């Protein structure tokens, strides 16, 4: 991956709907050259997809929480992960090091909906404890930062 690839990735992170011609103007290449580079980055698994970013509150999901889950000692982590995947309220799920085994980012319509979600999580076989932090406000999300420089 060279500096032009990094510029293309950064531009796509800022505007995933940019045309190849537009991207070409940004990096000084022709549209077909940009197409080839992006296809190569996709094939290599560097670019894994494109998506629309949606305001959760406008969809009626005004409460965001981070929930840490601790598991019982003999629990199969992959079994729990599969059960978590079935819960549509979970936006993100990370397997983590530390006191908790998983950290979840969940969205709910209101505090009552969050409480119901926590009860469902607590009922999953192997979950020994949940720890919930409610997000008061979001300062930024899906941050588009500078990619690290090539070494």
Tens of pLDDT, residues 67-89: 999 999 888 999 999 999 999 99
The Cα–Cα gap between 134 and 104 comes to 12
Place of tokens 């690290």: 148
How many Å separate Cα 22 from the centre of its chain? 27
pTM above 0.85, yes or no: no
CB 108 within 8 A of CB 63: yes
User: What CATH number does domain 3-43 carry, 1.10.1740.10, 3.90.1330.10, 3.40.718.10, 1.10.10.10?
Assistant: 1.10.10.10
pLDDT category, 143, cuts 50, 70, 90? confident
pLDDT (0 to 100) of residue 1:
86
pLDDT at residue 77 in the model: 92
Contact 146, 11 (CB under 8 A): no
Q: How confident is the model at residue 128 (pLDDT cuts 50, 70, 90)?
A: very high
Over 60: is that where the pLDDT of 145 sits?
no
């Amino acid at each position: 991956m060279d500096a032009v690839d990094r510029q293309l990735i950064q531009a796509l992170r800022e505007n995933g709907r940019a045309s190849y011609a537009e991207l070409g103007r940004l990096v000084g290449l022709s549209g077909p050259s940009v197409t080839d580079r992006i296809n190569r980055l996709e094939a290599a698994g560097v670019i894994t997809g494109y998506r629309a970013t949606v305001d959760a509150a406008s969809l009626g999901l005004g409460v965001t929480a981070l929930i840490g889950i601790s598991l019982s000692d003999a629990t199969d982590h992959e079994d729990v992960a599969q059960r978590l995947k079935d819960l549509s309220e979970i936006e993100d799920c990370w397997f983590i090091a530390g006191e908790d085994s998983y950290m979840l980012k969940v969205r709910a319509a209101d505090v009552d909906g969050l409480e119901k979600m926590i009860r469902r999580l607590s009922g999953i076989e192997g979950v020994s404890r949940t720890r919930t932090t409610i997000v008061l406000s979001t300062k930024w999300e899906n941050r588009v930062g500078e990619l690290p420089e090539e070494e």
